[in-house]
Amino acid sequence: MRWRLTLLVAATTSAVVLAFLIPLTLLLRSLAEERTLATVTADATNLAQIAASSGADTAKAELDKAASGPDPLGITTIFLPDNSTLGAQVADDSENIDTARTGLAFTTRNDGQAVVYAPALSTEGAYIVRTEVSGAELHRDVGRASLILAALGTLLLALSVGAADTLARRLSDPIKDLAAAADSIRDGRLDIRSPEHGPPEVVAMAGALNRLSARIEQLLISERESVADLSHRLRTPVTALRLDVESVTDPEVARRIEEHVATLERTVSAVVQDARRPVKANVTSRCDVAALVGERVAFWSALADEQGRSLRTWLPSRPTWARIDPVELTDVVDVLIDNVFAHTEEGVPLEVTVNTNAAHEIVLAVQDGGPGLPGADVVARGHSNAGSSGLGLDIVRRAAIASGGRLELGKSRLGGAKVQVVLSPAETRTRERMRQRRKGAGGSLGQRFRKLVGQSS
């Protein structure tokens, strides 16, 4: 915006300056011609009258005196009554000379130069003074005056551009500070507040953004406290359930129930720990999808072997960083794999893949060879066609959306269901440091000036 405003003022001022300079230069040129011709006509008339009243000798002396002066104007020739001449020789100009002998004073123009004819009548006849003025003499000092006008116009343009740049900077710097504060809030730094300065509209917007940031921080803290309290309350029934396991007589059943209880307890602990993390931890989370999916597949592979399932995986060898918290991604992978175990017969093959699409998004796909999805509404929260809670795929969908991605359902190449989670890529540490460095280097001059003033004070 700053440069656009400056360029707009520069273009407008240039048009105004040119609109004044061009006509003014032409006017100066015309005035210079009129002034020079008036001076030459007066000098020629005086010389003709001297020649008519005092004779040729006196006219010759005056002519020599004018020619040897410091700044003679034109080439002067005196035509005597007997057609002889004094001064500079000229080409045949008998027609104009005959016209001037009638007593008529006039000026002719040809090829940018002017010729002045000034007659004076006497008893002997007509004395005619002919002065030829070149174009350079007609427009003397016009070039210097034009340069002065151009310099003044350039100075005016520079002053207007400088004033426009200062005004545009006062308008754009508060907006840049507002955008920087918005980026900080996006990165999870909800304690950042935008400086409320600049035009009234920007001040109002900065105040609204600051109030919104404070409100979001309060709501997130309140929500986390509620989740932490609820999760903490679950510890008591989980502990009671662990105690009841000891009363189970079948060792194999007891072992499996104990494993499930341990998993439930770890999940509750993870929820409590996640709720107590700083607010910005979730906003700026990142995770290596390939590595975590490999860990979860290894965890589920024991159950797959027990049920005779073919569990195939394809994971890239290099890290695939996505903008999602590792805990959330763990829940996503566990929900997708658990759905296959829960809703398909034993022995149904299962395939888990991670790759990157053309838009550089990370795609996690879980496919099976079962009967397929019962309907398009399986993602609806609380809705299930298989007797479950109906929350699994909704958890997956919300986690994908929170990371900037989406959930896609389709038919597997194995013949069953295909659930595909598309995750937004996360910035690498190097790119993030470069962006932060650019953001720090791109601070406004006003901020740096205020910083220097604060240091000096």
Q: Are residues 71 and 14 in the same domain?
A: yes
More confident residue, 456 or 190: 190
pLDDT per residue as tens digits for the range 186-223: 777 778 888 888 888 888 988 998 888 888 888 877 77
In a domain, 345, yes or no: yes
Q: Give the model's confidence band at 291: pLDDT under 50 very low, under 70 low, under 90 confident, else very high.
A: very high
Q: How confident is the model at residue 292 (pLDDT cuts 50, 70, 90)?
A: very high
pTM > 0.95: yes or no: no
241, 263, 285: which is the final residue of a domain?
285
Could you tell me if residue 148 is inside a domain? no
**Rounded to whole angstroms, how far apart are CA atoms 239 and 243?**
6
DSSP-derived pairing of the beta strands 417-423 and 106-110: unpaired
- β-sheet bridge partners, residue 431: none
In this prediction, residue 294 carries a pLDDT of 93
Containing structural domain, residue 316: 287-426
pLDDT for 363 equals 93
- Residue that is written with structure tokens 């932490």 in the block: 228
- In one-letter notation, the amino acid at residue 221 is I
What is the enclosing helix (H) or strand (E) of 116? Answer: strand 113-121
Gap between the Cα atoms of 247 and 242, Å rounded: 10
Q: Of the residues 285, 302, 325, which one is the last residue of a structural domain?
A: 285
DSSP string, 154-181: HHHHHHHHHHHHHHHHHHHHHHHHHHHH
Are residue 52 and residue 70 in the same domain, yes or no?
yes
Q: What is the pLDDT of residue 351?
A: 93
Cβ atoms of 322 and 332 within 8 Å: the answer is: no
Note whether 275 and 387 are same-domain residues. Answer: no
Is a pLDDT exceeding 80 seen at residue 445?
no
Per residue in 126-178, pLDDT tens?
888 888 888 888 888 888 888 888 898 889 888 888 888 888 888 888 888 88
Residue 42 lies in a domain: yes
Same-domain check for residues 137 and 203: no
CATH number at residue 313: 3.30.565.10
Q: What is the pLDDT of residue 111?
A: 81
In the predicted model, what is the mean pLDDT of the chain? Answer: 80
Q: Give me the residues paired with residue 129 across strands.
A: 78, 118
22 domain-assigned: yes
Task: For residues 383-394, give the mean pLDDT.
Answer: 56
Does residue 47 share a domain with residue 68? yes
Residue type, 61: A
Short-list 343, 350, 344, 385, CA closest to 365: 350
Question: Pick the residue with more confidence: 299 or 189?
Answer: 299
Q: Are 130 and 79 in contact (CB under 8 A)?
A: yes
Higher pLDDT, 208 or 441: 208
Residue 351: strand pairing partners? 312, 367
